[in-house]
Structures are given as structure tokens and as C-alpha cells.
Structure 1
Amino acid sequence: MNGSNERNTALVLGASGGIGGEVARRLTREGWRVRGLKRGLAAETVDADGIAWMAGDALERADVMRAAQGCAVIVHAVNPPGYRDWGQLVLPMLDNTIAAATANNALVVLPGTVYNYGQGAFPVIAEDAPQHPATRKGGLRVQMEAALEAHAARGGRVLIVRAGDFFGPRAGNNWFAQGLVKPGKPVGRIANPSAPGVGHQWAYLPDVAATMVALIGRRAALEPFARFHMEGHWDPDGTVLCDTIRRVVARRGGAASVGAFPWWLVRLATPFNETLRELWEMRYLWRQPVRLDNRRLVDLLGAEPRTPLDQAVERTLEGLGCVPATRPAAAPSRTSGTRPPAPADWDRARGSSR
């Protein structure tokens, strides 16, 4: 093993995707040297964001080992496209990351999901909540985290940061961009997946990246297997985000209505489309409130990085081409240390959302 923990170089697997790209760009702004892997690349190149791209594939161990040489951090933000072949691909890719981290004494950083949890953990989820997933994809995420915990038990180091549904100007596949609105088109109708009165948790990707990078900066003080939850933007009754989209669109001279997401159509298509079949399995996350407890994160950082919701939604709509871009995106603020209520306070906190 390479004994140095202070090398200011990181490999971001999935740097061309939503969360991986945001983390990679944030790291470069913080002075890190960042590498990414890209299939079919003819020669190494450095892009405008400062990311050094190397030819390779996360499924090829030799490529990952080569790219990770000398790195202090490996961000594992790579996923198969859509929902295809998860069972065959996600664990081998993670095994390659673990092997490279072992060889370089590197911290493994994993963006976590709420898919790991089932009914026994709801409605407010702490980091040590039992993981009894209700879906196949959730089961795979549990296996991934178990493999990382075993890696930590063998002397490795792991950081998992869990957040709600991603959205952002370059977020890739997500509910905001593929369910609520249509990228590249003015917003006329917003499709709300939530059941009436049910809260939902959203995470603005630049804030998630800022949180991860802040924790990476404190990696020497973290436990070998460290997990943190983000609160992000909590929508207490499932209407706040849609109303914010409407407000932003109205400020830009447009008008949008809100209607129910066509779950019935997804159900009809499940026998013929794997992606829609997986979406149907995840429907339970829109039928009941599921909220991550960020108290541990706030205790360490003092505040969770949080961009005001109107600003985050406006930047997202600009990035999706739904409204004209008017200003460059800025770094997220760190103004909120708000914690979700303890479970005993849940009914009072929900207020009129019942």
C-alpha cells in the first residue's frame, strides 16, 4: 500500500454523469487534481473544468488501477446506463474500485440512496437505520455498502453520503428532468409523482457535491466506515417543489399547471420496458414520507451546504433548457444547519400535510 493520505489527487468514476461531474468540478475548484475515465478516448486530455480524462472503462480492473495510481480519493459515482444490467455490472465495478483503493490507501466515496431502506426505517432515517430494501435495486445497493463495510474492516476507508432525489442543471437521469418537466421545452405542465399530502426529499446536486468535498477535506478525522445523511430540500406535502417551478416559470413570463404523474401508464408499460419496471418498483417512495436525518452531518460541518430552493430550481430549469439562461451558476451557500425533527415530533412537523 502507498502510505500517503495527503496526496491532492482524486479519481472520479462517473465524472461524465450528474453527481460524478458535480463532485469532479467541485474538487478542481478546491484545488484538487482530478482524473476521469472515458471509453474510446484516443489520447489523454484536460477539459475546461480541469478534469484530466484518461482512456478506460470502470469494468476493466487494469484501467481503474492505472487511473487510480497515486490517488488519495476514489469517488465511485458510476452506474450502468438507465437500469440495464445492474445485477451483472454494479458489483464488479465496485470490486475494481475497492482493489484500486486498497493498492493506493485511498478513501472510497460513494453517493448513497434511500433505496436501501424499507418500511422498518421510515419515516425519519438515521445513518444506522436497518437496511431491509423493498426492491431489487435496493438489494444491490445494500450489497454495495456491505462490500464497502467489509473493505473498511480490512483496513480500508469509506465515506457514504446519502441524499434525496437529485436535481440540478447537469443532473442527468432524474425525476425532476424526466418526470416533472421535459428537457429542452418550455414548462407548460408539471407532472407530480407524489401522492396527495405526502412529503418528499430533494437534493440539489451542487449542494451534494459541496457536502462530499467538505467531508473529503476532513477525511483524516472520519471513522473508517463513515456515513452521513443530507436533508437537502424537504417538501412537506409534495407540492412545494412543483409550486416553486411554477413560480420560477411565471417570473420568466410563462405559465405552468400541475397535474398527477401518469403512474397508470408506467404500470401498463412495465412488461415491455425495464426502466419503467424499475420506476414502478420505486413507486413506494412517493406514497409515504421518507426523510433523511442530517444531524450527524450538521454536528460535524456546522451547517449543510444549501442553495435556496428558488435559486436551485431556476438554475436547474436553465440547465435543462426549459427557460433561457440569464446568469452563470455560483457555488452553493452554507447558510442552513436545519435538522429534521426527531421521530416523536414528526406529526407536529408535518402540519397540514396529513
Structure 2
Amino acid sequence: METNKTALVLGATGGIGGAIAGALLRHGWKVRGMARDAAAAHKQNQQIEWVKGDAMRRADVVEHARGVSVIVHAVNPPNYANWDKLVLPMIDNTIAAAQVAGGARILLPGTIYNFDPARTPVIDASTPQQPCSRKGAIRVELERRLEQAAPEVPSLILRAGDFFGPGTRASWFAQAMVTPGKPVHRITELTRDGGHSWAYLPDLAETAARLLDESEKLQPFERVQFEGYYDQSGTGLVEAISRVVGRKVATRHFPWWLMALLSPFRGFPREAAEIAPYWRYPVRLDNRRLTELIGPEPRTGLDAAVRTTLVHLGCLPESAVNALSVA
């Protein structure tokens, strides 16, 4: 059991960072959140100790990491852009800060971009990382740097699929499947042939907190996979939205072909075209190591998770949400 329960959360104003910060608070941790506008962040959440800083400035991260035992590295370039310029400098700053803090453990929310989905239907800690995109190559290098820094700087990579849930407006669920702020009249289907992995954010955050509470069980460099909701057919999430809304909702397919056609012009189409294979091929996350560490994965029922997500996106009235039940 971790005795110094103080964590610095980078990206605490974002979806995944904010959710993990909230879970840590519920588990009795003191949470320090770094934000460029700390005053505005404080107005949103007064339970967190907010400090002003930028993850791209090493001095900021080093200063605010003093006295912590964990650094949650939940920062990512917005809109899938500028990964080559931002991702690796930010993790280097976090590693340097963890060293100065005396070997604080880094928690990194991992992605499946490290793998070629056409050749990797199941991912576990030993699965060879063979990226097929620029983003994937950057994520592989990011994890290599964490592995290289251990054991002086221990780290935990918690890998998951695509997010949905409260606080996930910057997600494929929120930005493509439905329209935030509007009732659900049509659903955009993203998966081509089924087998997509989804992570309900409150469950993932609870998992992160449970893992950090069991730090003595963790290896100096640990990769665990969060299974979440595996949509075997590719229509499971779409059907759940219809059930929650209470009627059969019309669907349409996301225009992946158009993204490929427009990709030479860069911008979002190029970024979307690059990750299209992750929606074409089935990829499941093997959570056996995770369950060895904390027991059964936290698992909210699919309809309850979808209902809560739609309420927070403004697609359903607040009266429609059921109390969140985490196993």
C-alpha cells in the first residue's frame, strides 16, 4: 500500500486526467493538478490543489512534482495534431521531474496505436509493438523511454481502447457517433468489421486508482491492459444507444473513404485516415495481468454507461441518468 499518497496530475483539466484525479481523491490521495490557467481550473474543481504550469516547460513539471509519489501523465496534443513536436518532449519532462522527486512512479494511459491491428487481434504485455503509423511509432518510442528510465523511475502503462463517458468530449463517441448538445436522431457507425475495444472512463479511472493503491505489487516497469467493453459485432454500442434513447435510431457509416481521399491535404482527414485500420480490424485487450493485481475489472453495465455518457454530452435530460454503479 502506497504511504505517500500525493499525486501530480498532468492533464487534470482533460477527460482522462480529470477522471483519474477524481478517482484518486475518492481513494484518499492528495491530488495536485497542473494547468496553464490554474485559477479557472480551481473554479471547476476545488478538491484539487491547482498549480500553474505547462507540460512543455520542464521547470514547471519538476517544480510541481516535488514531494509526490506518482505523476499521472495524461497530456496529449489536441485534435491528433503535432504529435511529432509535443509527445516526446513532454514525456522527457515528466521523467526528469520523477527523477527529481526521488523516483516517483509515472502512470501513463496507453493506446493501441503501438500495434499493427491487421496482425494483432489480441494485445497483452508481451505483444510485439509493430506500429503502422506515425503516431504509433511515437507511442512506441514514448514507452521505450519509460522502460529505459526504470527502475530509477518506475512506471505503469494502463492501456485501453477508445474512451466514452463523462468528460470525453474529445472522443470518437462524442465527436463522431453522436452530436453533443442535441437529441440523438442519427448514429454514425465507426467500426467496419466489428471487434472494437471501448473504455468507459469512470471504470478506467477507478482501475488506475486501485492499481496505484497496490503499488507494492507492481514491477518497476509494468504494462497492463484494460479490457473494458469489447464490441465483438461492432454494433453493440450503436444498439445500446438505441436502447437508452428508447427507439430505433437511424445509422450511417463514417466516411473513412473520404478521409483517405482528403488525406493529402493534411489536417483532420490525414489524421483520421492514419487511424482508420484500428476501426477496420478487431483488437481486444487481454486483462489477465490486471486482474492478477486488483481482481475483477471495474465494470459498469453498458446501458448505464451509455446513458450517463449521453446525459453528460447533453443528448439526454439529466433525469434520464441512473446512479453510477461500479462493480
- TM-score bracket, normalised by the shorter chain, equals over 0.9
**Distance in 2 separating the partners of 1:244 and 1:147:** 40
1:163 aligned partner, one-letter code: A
Q: Which residue of 1 aligns with 2:309?
A: 316
User: 3-state SS of the aligned residue for 1:114?
Assistant: coil
User: 3-state SS of the aligned residue for 1:322?
Assistant: coil
Q: Which residue of 2 aligns with 1:275?
A: 268
Give how far 1:276 is off.
Answer: 2.2
Q: Which residue of 2 aligns with 1:337?
A: none
Verify: 1:302 aligned to 2:295, yes or no. yes
The 3 A distance-change label for structure 1 pair 98 and 121 is: farther
**Distance in 2 separating the partners of 1:44 and 1:245:** 32
**Distance in 1 separating the partners of 2:46 and 2:231:** 33
Any idea what the Cα deviations from partners look like across 1:307-348, whole Å, max 9, x if unmatched?
0000000000001001111277755522xxxxxxxxxxxxxx
Please give the residue correspondences for 1:110-121 in structure 2 after superposition, counting only pairs within 5 Å: 110-119=108-117
Contact 1:17 1:172 in 2 (8 A): no
Q: Which residue of 2 aligns with 1:266?
A: 259
Q: Which residue of 2 aligns with 1:123?
A: 121
The 3 A distance-change label for structure 1 pair 285 and 64 is: same
**Distance in 2 separating the partners of 1:122 and 1:44:** 40
User: 3-state SS of the aligned residue for 2:230?
Assistant: strand
Please give the residue correspondences for 1:23-38 in structure 2 after superposition, counting only pairs within 5 Å: 23-38=20-35
The 3 A distance-change label for structure 1 pair 326 and 44 is: closer
**Distance in 2 separating the partners of 1:38 and 1:215:** 25
**Distance in 2 separating the partners of 1:39 and 1:49:** 16
Give how far 1:131 is off.
Answer: 0.1
Q: Which residue of 2 aligns with 1:168?
A: 165
**Distance in 2 separating the partners of 1:316 and 1:246:** 13
Give how far 1:122 is off.
Answer: 1.4
**Distance in 2 separating the partners of 1:330 and 1:73:** 30
Verify: 1:149 aligned to 2:142, yes or no. no
Please give the residue correspondences for 1:200-211 in structure 2 after superposition, counting only pairs within 5 Å: 200-211=196-207
Match of 1:248 among 244, 251, 254: 244
Give how far 1:238 is off.
Answer: 0.3
**Distance in 2 separating the partners of 1:273 and 1:281:** 11
Q: Which residue of 2 aligns with 1:344?
A: none
Give how far 1:255 is off.
Answer: 5.0
**Distance in 1 separating the partners of 2:69 and 2:170:** 29
1:13 aligned partner, one-letter code: L
2:165 aligned partner, one-letter code: G
User: What TM-score comes out, normalization by structure 1 length?
Assistant: 0.87
Tell me which moved more, 202-211 or 113-122: 113-122
2:26 aligned partner, one-letter code: R
Contact 2:165 2:308 in 1 (8 A): yes
**Distance in 1 separating the partners of 2:78 and 2:213:** 30
Any idea what the Cα deviations from partners look like across 1:204-248, whole Å, max 9, x if unmatched?
000110111100001122100011101100111101110000111
Contact 1:110 1:159 in 2 (8 A): yes
Unaligned 5+ segments in structure 1 are 335-354
The 3 A distance-change label for structure 1 pair 49 and 312 is: farther
Percent identity between the aligned chains? 51
Any idea what the Cα deviations from partners look like across 1:240-263, whole Å, max 9, x if unmatched?
11000011111xxx6521221122
Any idea what the Cα deviations from partners look like across 1:257-286, whole Å, max 9, x if unmatched?
122112233233323342221111111111
1:26 aligned partner, one-letter code: A
**Distance in 2 separating the partners of 1:120 and 1:272:** 26
**Distance in 1 separating the partners of 2:40 and 2:202:** 29
Contact 1:270 1:276 in 2 (8 A): yes
Tell me which moved more, 36-45 or 104-113: 36-45
1:181 aligned partner, one-letter code: V
1:106 aligned partner, one-letter code: A
The 3 A distance-change label for structure 1 pair 138 and 43 is: closer
The 3 A distance-change label for structure 1 pair 189 and 162 is: same
Verify: 1:239 aligned to 2:232, yes or no. no
Contact 1:117 1:130 in 2 (8 A): yes
Unaligned 5+ segments in structure 2 are none
